[in-house]
Amino acid sequence: MLKKITFWLNCARLYTLPITILSWAVIFVYSIKHGGNVFFGFLALFGISLVHLATNLIDDYIDYPKLNKEQEYINVAKNCKCAYLKNNSATIKDLRNVILIFLTFAAIIGLYLFFVSGHCVILLAIIGLIIALTYPLFSLNGLGEISVITAYGPLMFEGVYYVMCGDFSWEVCILSFACAFMTNTILYAHMLMDFDQDETSHKKTLCRALKTKENALNFILIFYVLSFTMCGYLAISSRNYLYLLPLLTIPQIIDLYHALKMYNNDKNSMPKIRFWHQPLKLTNTEDAPFFFRFLYSRNIMVFYMVLISIAIIFGEY
């Protein structure tokens, strides 16, 4: 049983979960500062994590039948999307059943929180389910950012705050967008580096909608600017000027921007690794230039979330 659970957690891309946990940690700390229920907060994390993993599997469930019709996918090596289906480690029926199990457990948690926290939990759960089911469709039409920003922003933040504190908050909403715009830069950096591949396969993405790689690269700065703008608003409105601490990530963002610009010109380019790029786990393969930039964008997001949490913990309310 343990082996089977581990197998499906790997298929559901468990390695992506820390991004969700980091976002949750920010609003969890904020809610505790405002007298929130710790147990309900952890319960919400468990439910959110199950939906996150189910969303990854739903993406595979929708994509696999389409991918299986493409000759390039049929001929590709084993380390490809839906590899566990392609190599017959699991069937599409198994995948559907696991998705239902994840969503069922998430629904049980949501039902419990409904009884102990309030009726708005049902509304939040329905919105979350809609996002989980429609994300692949949004993504295929170049609108994946809307789903990511909504899910990692107001839905998660207001949802956790509601179950922990029994209310909604305008400040929480602003905080949610500050963090969601930053989280979205990880997805966007990945999409930017896939520009040529997506163009060849005619995949619709926001980057491709911007016509050129140069335009797409410059657009990532908009997400960063929006994130910092929200931090500035929080600092002024709450008079907690520690919310300006995330500005310390600006030098790293400039560094990442230049690294992505190098990648646009040469996919094999590899910047010299410095201590501020860490932690990185790279292998000496042709994929190292890609993963260096992807992991670096993740690390900037982690540093940003830590600084936001410090602002909440040590700020006056």
What pLDDT was estimated at residue 73?
47
pLDDT at 77: 47
Ranges of residues in the chain whose predicted pLDDT is under 50: 73-78
* Residue 23 contacts residue 102 (beta carbons within 8 Å): no
Nearest Cα residue to 68 out of 60, 13, 8, 205: 60
Q: What is the pLDDT, as a whole number, of residue 317?
A: 60
List CB contacts of 209: < 8 A, sequence separation 6 or more.
Answer: 142
- With a CB cutoff of 8 Å and minimum separation 6, the contacts of 45 are 21, 24, 28, 160
CATH of domain 1-168: 1.10.357.140
Place of tokens 């690390």: 299
What percent of the chain has a predicted confidence (pLDDT) above 90?
A: 47
